[in-house]
């Protein structure tokens, strides 16, 4: 769900004056340029303006057009080959209030004779009272004219250097091998940028604006590689430097990127602070696109910490802004985010509608990466609905697309998703193959967070295979890696997994210690975690303390309801029903199981429905009604066969075998 706002991804403002979002230095230079042109009226002279690229040139042109419209006539001129006199470009009979903007000179400087011509005609401007602004690439002004047309340079009235991050970003893209994709490209980008940074810092007069751009850009590839400490180091420096320069647009962008890193580190409250600061700045600047991005990122954090209604409000506001801006790409991304929230709220039909709409938009735009992501999200819905075969179809389609794109991170994610499906289908060996392939890819990419997650997934498979010691080894390795990364959420998840293993090993006290540590970590980071409460309830159930178990399961149920997490609510009801069954209160047990079964059916969550039917079978067997028990067990068996859940199918078959002899 999180969106990355590129460190140098500043976009042209919609304001009639191209001032909003520019650094203080650029704004001051543009105002000084206008003042200098006013000074040259009735005197004549020329000004040299070096620009970082086409975006900077456009800003200069728009600024002069707006600010000179009441006092001067702005006339654009392109230098031509073969001119013998400057009067060919700047006619002597033109009105004296004409300001000539020269936007091309390189074509006239192919040989040294071009620089000689500039030197020889240096007095033309003051003699004929002509006002000329040479708006040229910085390299031509400061590397060629300054040194090869020294007399011309010395006669200039003033010189300026206008630098914009957009031009720097375009230059960077051209420098990097465009054939490389995903993390391979990020690795190339990091090497190139760090070399560029070192080179710039060694200069006698380093360009601090360029240094800011490099520092900002270095944050993004490190973030994508899961190297958060390195990313933070560069972005913190960029933030301080941007503030010194008064670069408000850049400051907002960097604040947003720092927020993404803290969220990835499992520190949502700190992340929220940075995103809210970025949002306030974007609103002050009137930068709607940045505002939409930050609203979406804030929504993502509220989703992560279990506040889906609040998340939905922010993401819908972001979606409305994207639609107002006719930003189709942004609209597709935000629809996907809203779809994820509806999944959390237990509204799969609405989630599916959002993801399908996002998928349609991505295909219309030819946005293949978004298409692959949307296919994966649709797969996730069917996965949560207990329809693994349908989920598998979408995950595999997404995987094919990621491979075609060379998007290695997406490929690793879908390999993991496919592995999880095979695990649910009871095909642990096949699941292991996919998770190991995903792990190998994450290690090749240097993506530590993905590596830790897949190590944990492999641990879960070994747990299912009954190889608990091996499972424990993998979870402890994943835990160590998450701690090294400082990723608190991943750390808490692995503590919970280790707790589950100790429970299966018959060490409930040790299991309880790990589950309580996981819960404390989730709460400390502001996450609401119903599953941790439920796990603690299960351990107390094992310890023969059903009343305490019930307390935790009821707390988990209340939290799931507060979050609007329907699937979690249904699972909580089923767990409470099992406790009442063990407490010898079959009527209460049946009531809770019936409520859980109704919810699972409303959600179309087949696996949950089958588990509830199986629970009914156990209750009726305890009530001495084997015929009724068999009816529910056979119904559960049919669903497990339908969805291909082999492991569950085997368990129900054993229960059917044990209940059949009781029927007379």
Is there a domain that residue 147 lies in? yes
pTM above 0.85, yes or no: no
CA distance 532 to 524: 13
Determine the pLDDT at residue 487: 76
What's the CATH number where 430 sits? Answer: 1.25.40.10
Q: Locate the DSSP E strands across 350-446.
A: none
Report mean pLDDT in 10-residue bins for the chain, 664 residues: 32 33 77 93 93 90 93 89 84 94 66 74 92 90 83 89 78 57 66 87 85 87 82 94 85 93 84 96 89 94 82 95 91 94 82 95 91 93 81 95 86 93 80 94 82 93 86 96 83 93 93 94 76 90 92 90 76 92 93 94 82 93 93 92 75 90 81
Q: Which residue segment(s) compose the domain that 647 sits in?
A: 605-664
Angle between helices 408-424 and 388-405 (to 10 degrees): 160
Query: Do 289 and 402 belong to one domain?
Result: no
Query: Do 139 and 237 belong to one domain?
Result: no
CA distance 381 to 126: 73
Query: Do 156 and 214 belong to one domain?
Result: no
Copy the structure tokens of residue 385: 């609905």
**Boundary residue ending a domain (396, 420, 446):** 446
**Boundary residue ending a domain (332, 366, 400):** 366
CA distance 540 to 521: 20
Determine the pLDDT at residue 176: 53
Query: Do 413 and 344 belong to one domain?
Result: no
Please tell me the total count of domains within the chain.
4
Determine the pLDDT at residue 557: 92
- Intra-chain end-to-end CA distance of the chain, in Å: 57
CA distance 376 to 345: 19
**Boundary residue ending a domain (396, 415, 446):** 446
Query: Do 196 and 283 belong to one domain?
Result: yes
Determine the pLDDT at residue 113: 64
CB atoms within 10 A of CB 405: 16
CB atoms within 10 A of CB 317: 17
Is there a domain that residue 358 lies in? yes
What's the CATH number where 645 sits? Answer: 1.25.40
Contact 384, 343 (CB under 8 A): yes
Determine the pLDDT at residue 378: 95
Is there a domain that residue 246 lies in? yes
Is there a domain that residue 189 lies in? yes
CA distance 317 to 303: 15
């Amino acid at each position: 769900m999180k969106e990355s706002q590129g460190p140098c991804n500043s976009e042209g403002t919609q304001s009639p004056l191209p001032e909003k979002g520019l650094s203080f230095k650029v704004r001051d230079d543009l105002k000084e340029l206008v003042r200098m042109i006013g000074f040259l009226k009735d005197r004549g002279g020329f000004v040299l303006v070096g620009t970082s690229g086409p975006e900077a040139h456009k800003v200069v042109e728009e600024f002069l057009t707006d600010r000179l419209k009441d006092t001067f006539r702005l006339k654009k001129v392109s230098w031509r080959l073969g001119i013998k006199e400057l009067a060919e470009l700047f006619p002597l009979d033109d009105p004296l209030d004409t300001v000539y903007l020269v936007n091309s000179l390189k074509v006239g400087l192919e040989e040294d004779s071009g620089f000689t011509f500039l030197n020889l005609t240096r007095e033309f401007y003051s003699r004929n009272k002509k006002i000329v602004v040479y708006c040229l690439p910085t390299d031509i002004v400061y590397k060629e004219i300054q040194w090869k047309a020294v007399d011309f340079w010395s006669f200039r009235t003033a010189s300026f250097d206008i630098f914009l991050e957009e031009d720097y970003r375009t230059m960077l893209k051209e420098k990097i091998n465009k054939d490389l994709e995903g993390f391979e490209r990020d690795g190339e980008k990091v090497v190139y940028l760090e070399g560029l940074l070192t080179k710039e810092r060694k200069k006698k007069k380093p360009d601090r604006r360029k240094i800011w751009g490099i520092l900002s850009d270095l944050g993004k590839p490190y973030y994508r590689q899961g190297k958060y400490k390195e990313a933070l180091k560069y972005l913190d420096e960029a933030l301080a430097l941007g503030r010194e320069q008064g670069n408000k647009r850049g400051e907002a962008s960097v604040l947003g990127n720092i927020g993404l890193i803290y969220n990835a580190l499992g520190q949502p409250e700190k992340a929220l602070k940075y995103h809210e600061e970025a949002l306030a700045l974007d609103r002050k600047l009137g930068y709607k696109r940045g505002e939409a991005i930050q609203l979406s990122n804030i929504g993502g954090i509220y989703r992560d910490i279990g506040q889906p209604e609040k998340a939905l409000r922010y993401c819908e506001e972001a979606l409305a802004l994207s639609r107002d801006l006719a930003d189709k790409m942004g609209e597709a991304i935000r629809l996907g985010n809203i779809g994820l929230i509806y999944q959390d709220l237990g509204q799969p039909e609405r989630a599916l509608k959002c993801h399908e709409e996002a998928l349609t938009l991505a295909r219309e735009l030819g946005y293949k990466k978004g298409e692959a992501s949307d296919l994966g999200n649709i797969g996730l819905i069917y996965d949560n609905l207990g329809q693994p075969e349908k989920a598998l179809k979408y995950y595999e389609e997404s995987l094919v697309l990621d491979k075609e794109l060379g998007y290695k991170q997406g490929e690793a994610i879908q390999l993991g998703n496919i592995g999880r499906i095979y695990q649910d289908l009871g095909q642990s060996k096949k699941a292991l193959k996919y998770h190991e392939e995903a792990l190998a890819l994450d290690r090749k990419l240097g993506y530590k967070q993905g590596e830790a997650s897949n190590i944990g997934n492999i641990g879960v498979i070994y747990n299912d295979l009954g190889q608990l010691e091996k499972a424990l080894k993998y979870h402890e390795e994943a835990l160590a890696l998450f701690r090294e990364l400082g990723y608190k959420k991943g750390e808490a998840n692995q503590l919970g997994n280790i707790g589950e293993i100790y429970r299966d090993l018959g060490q409930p006290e040790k299991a309880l210690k790990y589950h309580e540590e996981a819960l404390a970590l989730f709460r400390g980071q502001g996450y609401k975690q119903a599953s941790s409460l439920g796990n603690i309830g299960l351990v107390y159930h094992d310890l023969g303390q059903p009343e305490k178990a019930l307390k935790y399961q009821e707390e988990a149920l209340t939290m799931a309801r507060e979050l609007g997490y329907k699937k979690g609510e249904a699972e909580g009801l089923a767990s409470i029903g099992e406790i009442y069954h063990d407490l010898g209160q079959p009527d209460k047990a049946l009531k809770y199981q019936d409520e859980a079964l109704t919810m699972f059916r409303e959600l179309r969550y087949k696996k949950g429905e089958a588990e509830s039917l199986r629970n009914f079978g156990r209750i009726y067997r305890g009530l001495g009604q084997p015929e009724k028990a068999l009816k529910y067990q056979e119904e559960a068996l049919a669903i497990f066969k339908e969805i291909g859940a082999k492991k569950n199918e085997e368990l129900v078959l054993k229960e059917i075998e044990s209940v059949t002899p009781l029927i007379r």
